[in-house]
Structure 1
Amino acid sequence: MAPDDEDLALKKAFIRANTRLGPVDGLTIGVGNLQQTLQIWQADEITPIWAATEDDLARQGLEPPFWAFPWAGGQAVARLVLARPELVRGKRVLDIACGSGMVGIAAASAGAEAVLVNDIDPICRAAAELNAQANGVALGWLGGNLLEGAAPGVDVILAGDIFYEMTMAQRFLDWLGTAARRGIAAYAGDPGRAYAPRSEAGLMAEYDIATTMELESTTLRHARVWQIGVSEF
């Protein structure tokens, strides 16, 4: 086994050992002629998986396990795509800052021609591949920090939960805005974090997303999805 393949296999083994495959309520996808709830490998509690990742950090170079949870902003984007499949059907789609790959899986299920998933954390590739397999879809991996250059050649960019830090939020908005001016449709979802857009311009949908006190300090998040670039925020 090549070193890169061995590393990917180790990361998948870590995910299987520390999470379980479970449904994301509210996300119904088509698999063949059947309908099922989208599933991802996810942690039951935040503290044990965080501790496990910290313990393995020196050994495997793992980052905090953002990939182990179906974050509310991503769920909102996934709901929009599943409710309005024409946004992605037959198109080339990028799920940036993908985490678990949940949004990309929704896009693939909604009929996207091809879906790339991207994250700066390499373990997200393992998570996305496992989750794609569990849901009967195919995803392509694109590693690295895409914000350092132009957006790749896709038709649609999807992003969830990218507005949690001021500088990073502005970088994402600038990058997505530039992509939009090139004709790429860009959609971002957020559950009311500090640096999310406040404008109604470009607002596509709003959803109430069930969550947990441990993860979000509340049991319900009101999440919104915008099309970025239709006007200035």
Structure 2
Amino acid sequence: MTPEEFVTAHTTVTRAALVPEIALHLASEITPIWQATETWLKEHNIEPPFWAFAWPGGQATARLLLDDPARVAGKRVLDFAAGCGIAAVAAAMAGAAVVEAAEIDPLALASVRLNAALNGVHVETPEGDIVGTPCRWDVILAGDVCYEAPMTAHILPWLRGLAATGAEVLLADPGRAYLPRQGLEPLARHAVPTTLELEDRTLREVTLFRLLP
């Protein structure tokens, strides 16, 4: 079974609450997709199925771009740790010249490709860990990435370095524990409906920040 076949077989086409304009291949329940992915994990050594859900940070970022397309229109955009690719799809729909979605999980990359096709846009999906790559983008989107200390420590210096080159780095955070306390400029807030299967509450307040160098 190819990654695309796996994603299609274990998801249904639906729309996230905050961004009904975008259709997505998403899991309807967490337990079946988690169990199905465990077998794939053993065979392919990949991550749990974070790509199967539209997380609050991605939804808030997508909403920002669709409401204010000038932020990315005509620009080169990276959706970092893209998950299902909702922000990448929104950037493409908003008129970005080039959109890349970065993920280390081949199932996530397959999900992004399927979701882009579902919405009639193109998103490039480079493989592997791109942290450390020199900046080739005008705008970098990073939704919900500060949920673990090792992850934050791995990515934050690189993201700040990208900001130092003149790129705009937009960080969307729903109150995760490892969000940096300094070097953030708040831009917007969105209340995003969530599920108790994934979160500890039914509504997450997401703040979109500009990450400062």
Q: Same fold (TM over 0.5)?
A: yes
Partner secondary structure for residue 202 of structure 1: strand
> Which amino acid counterpart does residue 87 of structure 1 have in structure 2?
R
For the 8 Å contact 1:91–1:155, the answer to whether it is kept is yes
Residue deviations 1:155-212 (CA, integer Å, cap 9, x gap): 1110111000123213322111100110111101011010113459410111100010
Paired with 1:223 and 1:200, the residues of 2 have a C-alpha distance of 17
**How do 1:99-110 and structure 2 match up within 5 A?**
99-110=83-94
Once superposed, what is the RMSD of the aligned Cα atoms?
1.6
Aligned match of 1:25: 17
1:162 and 2:145 correspond? yes
**How do 1:103-118 and structure 2 match up within 5 A?**
103-118=87-102
> Which amino acid counterpart does residue 176 of structure 1 have in structure 2?
L
For the 8 Å contact 1:176–1:229, the answer to whether it is kept is no
Residue deviations 1:96-143 (CA, integer Å, cap 9, x gap): 111111110010011101101111112222101100011111001111
Partner secondary structure for residue 162 of structure 1: coil
For the 8 Å contact 2:145–2:152, the answer to whether it is kept is yes
User: Which shifted more, 217-226 or 76-85?
Assistant: 76-85
Aligned match of 2:48: 64
Q: Which runs of 5+ in 1 are unaligned?
A: 1-8, 29-36
Give how far 1:152 is off: 3.6
For the 8 Å contact 1:39–1:131, the answer to whether it is kept is yes
**How do 1:1-150 and structure 2 match up within 5 A?**
10-28=2-20, 37-147=21-131, 149-150=132-133
Q: Percent identical across equivalent pairs? A: 43
Partner secondary structure for residue 208 of structure 1: strand
Give how far 1:21 is off: 0.8
Give how far 1:84 is off: 1.4
Q: Which runs of 5+ in 2 are unaligned?
A: none
For the 8 Å contact 1:173–1:228, the answer to whether it is kept is no
The verdict on how the C-alpha distance between 1:205 and 1:57 changes in structure 2, with shifts beyond 3 A counting, is: same
> Which amino acid counterpart does residue 86 of structure 1 have in structure 2?
A
Paired with 1:45 and 1:212, the residues of 2 have a C-alpha distance of 10
TM-score where L is the length of structure 1: 0.86
For the 8 Å contact 2:18–2:193, the answer to whether it is kept is no
**Structure ID, larger Rg:** 1
User: Which shifted more, 106-115 or 199-208?
Assistant: 199-208
Paired with 2:18 and 2:40, the residues of 1 have a C-alpha distance of 33
1:202 and 2:194 correspond? no
Paired with 1:200 and 1:143, the residues of 2 have a C-alpha distance of 29
User: Which shifted more, 174-183 or 192-201?
Assistant: 192-201
Runs of 4+ in 1 over 6 A off after TM superposition: none
Residue deviations 1:58-117 (CA, integer Å, cap 9, x gap): 334442101000000111111111121111010000111111111100100111011011
The verdict on how the C-alpha distance between 1:71 and 1:151 changes in structure 2, with shifts beyond 3 A counting, is: farther
**How do 1:182-197 and structure 2 match up within 5 A?**
182-197=165-180
